Structure 1
Amino acid sequence: MFDTEVLARLEAMLDALADLPVASASDAQTCETLRRLAHAADRLAGLQAVWLDQMQERAAYEAEGASSTAGWARRELRWDVRQSRAAIAAGRTLRVLPAVGAAHRAGEIRRAHVDAFTVALKKADREVVEAAEDVMLDVARVCEPGELTAQLTMLVEVAHPEDLDRAYVAGMDKHDLTIARCGEGYHVNGFLDAVNGTRLRTWLTAASAPRGTEDDRTPAQRRVDAVGDLAAAALEHGLPSDRGVRPQVNVMVDAAWLAGLPGAEPPVLTGWGPVGPGLFDYLACGADRTDVLVAGVTSSTTPQADILNVGRTHRLATYKQRQAVLARQGGVCANPACGGTHLELHHVAWWDRDGGRTDLDNLAGLCPRCHQLVHAGKLWVVADGQRGFVFSRRKGARILEIEDHHRVQRQRLSARLRGLREMRGAPVAPPAPPPAREPVRARRCSRPRPDPLSRIESHLDRLLRLRT
């Protein structure tokens, strides 16, 4: 039986919570209350999506003279059409993917994570998303929505590589570049396709690097100055009369993809992202090639591409070694807690202090800030014995290992995707829901809680069961 009194009691509890003296709360109580309010708000957002999906399925909006669910929400909830459609789609996702719905009801994932699953369902076949649902839920439980979106995007790209080429062709049709006089200078506006945009970005990244410690220009100012220097050099020395100079753009290709193995990840244009087979053929046709032998991934705490060692005994790394390090780390700082892309090569076993060799097993690409922290003794990195590295930091009197949730989950996803191509031709039964897991916040909040919040949470649990 549907108990409407649950809603009345929830509203009463919200009134009691609003009457709590905010100023009298301690700092610890403020932090804890904010965490639990966010937790409750996410669960309520999921409830709204579930009920809006029911209104859509039953056409319940007609009972109040509305022509659609979105129209009813606009009139009664003051929602715009985009907000209503997003909530309705989220409700359908919670119904179509039972494990996702269970995780959201338990407060393990946020509404933004559900929205990421919704987008994936629109772009990929339903059975593809269902086949990787358990892996993706593990990503959602430990990572932010943006990381889940990135991994779901990779899932779609593996399942539908032909879409990458269609996107490239569509980008070529949008070519546009204008420069117009505006006030004290010029306004530049335009759209570049993947290849030309990557060329410009690659050059700008190198040309706009800070010039010494005294360079106080902003990154935007350095980019403008770099474009000015390029134009000045071209005008001074003359424009090139042939096409003999090739851009220094890198395309990373997995050997499994070249071999045509099912489920292999598509090539990646560094600075842009995955590309389809048509664009790869175009790039490979007129480009220099550097082969980097990759043997899967390391099995360390921070998985990386397992690249053949081409080290030398010189202190400074060779060009090929630097390219290998960039390929191994995907052009990103090796520190799991960082995303810097301006990399310096660091000897994990120091060259002068430890007698470390200039081999790939001993070279880690670090951004300047992380490199400085290592030499300042505030960040530690050691080899793990499996051609990978482990980073640690200090927290009070303890030294804590920095876990790389993102890379670990990506490797799990890559392993799962290897069989997706073979599964696309046959019906795939949805995986069994993952075993119930105790929400992280539930363990953190096991001590006595403020009464209004606890009572609100108990009413939320009852609301979650009303529909069934």
Structure 2
Amino acid sequence: MELLEQAATALAEADPHEVSGQVLAEALSRLEAVESQLSAARLAVVAAIEADGTWATSGAASLNAWLREHTGRFTRETARMTTQARALRDHLPATGAALAQGKIGTDHLWTLVRHATSSPGCIQALSHPELGEQFLVEQASALDASRFDTLLKSWALRADPEAADRRWKAESDREEFSLARTTDGWHGTIWLTPANGTLVHQALQAQAGRRADGDTRSPAQRRVAALVDMAGSALDSGKLQPGARIRPHLAITAPLTTLLALAEAQAPARSLAGSRPAEVSRTGPADPGDSGRTTPDHRTDGAAEDLPVATIPVALDHDRLQGADAATLEDGTPIPFGLFAQLACESRLHRVVFGPDSEILDVGREERLFTAGQTRGIIARDGHCQFPSCAAPPGQGEIHHSLWWYAHHGSTTTANGILLCRYHHSYVHQRELLIERYPDHWRFVRNNGTTFATTRTRPVQPALR
């Protein structure tokens, strides 16, 4: 031990930057081998300590507790240490010898302990002359830990199929997904079997698609966006409760005065200093799918090509929202006005009128801000999410527009709507990006008047005079 401590001290004091890369690579390989040898020695000591029994006289409740106190390791690490020590002592002598010689690593050891000693059938198969422990040790010395883990799972499945089925059933019973409300959101934990985990992972990968240029989200952020998209698409389809009178969805409750105040706060003139909203022509040509509703004049004579043909404001004048009652979720949780504006973009609205004693006086018919024809028209026109560098299909999209147009110009027109995926719909509201539509492109504008980005659109055919 003294010689080992002296060598470790000398090694720790050495400067690896003073040697070449080839020497460093060789040093790393040798360190891995030495670590395996040290692990073999440590596990032999643990097995001897357990056999000696002196640890029990210290008052420790268990060998794991005694090891935790003397090593300072986590409980899970001391439990793994005792499991490995017992397996090497009782079932894996060839594995212990290979570990002591540095031929296999500690990850290989743990894989062998987990799978090769998991059932009586597997333990019996270790004595097989051709496919027993010696065969597994040879494979461990030739494969990295990941590939060896796959091989050993197959070996265990063949050695004891019944035990593999029992594990599968037990793992299925362990599956869980918990989602709990916290003070500022939701927190969840999940554990799935390998098969179901792979299924969910592939679904999230497919939903997220390839990362677009300029998408700076982390993989975890893209996965959660994909999960929300999948939930929204499932609810939109109506397949979850096809017989229900009202499809399950997110319900927001707000007084009419709040909805009107939100519309006023979203007026185009206040959305961006110096930006002119498109003028509305009551005799202009109709957009595809608009069912004859009026749209902004497209100015096909080219006299005002520098002006947008439609403007979709997002920024809110919060002074106009002072004192307004907050919209709430079903459980009464208030939500920010910006989020309310986003959720109201593609919602069904219906009125409920209460009397002075809270009795229901009237329940109005449910109404969509966009008709089905208008929605089809916008999807046909845009084809996919129109945010720069995003090509999310319509199934992941929502129609983004301004409540101000609906409140002050009657029915919402398709000229004042744009198809955005759920993530970029939220992004536009959070960043308060005003959107201007031109004959051949969309322009996304920051609050300070500068261009955030532009997206080319499909060619616009001039209207017949």
Task: Normalising by structure 1, report the TM-score.
Answer: 0.41
Using CA pairs below 8 Å that are at least 6 residues apart, which structure has the higher relative contact order? 1
**Larger Rg computed on CA atoms:** 2
Q: What TM-score do you get using the length of structure 2 for normalisation? A: 0.41
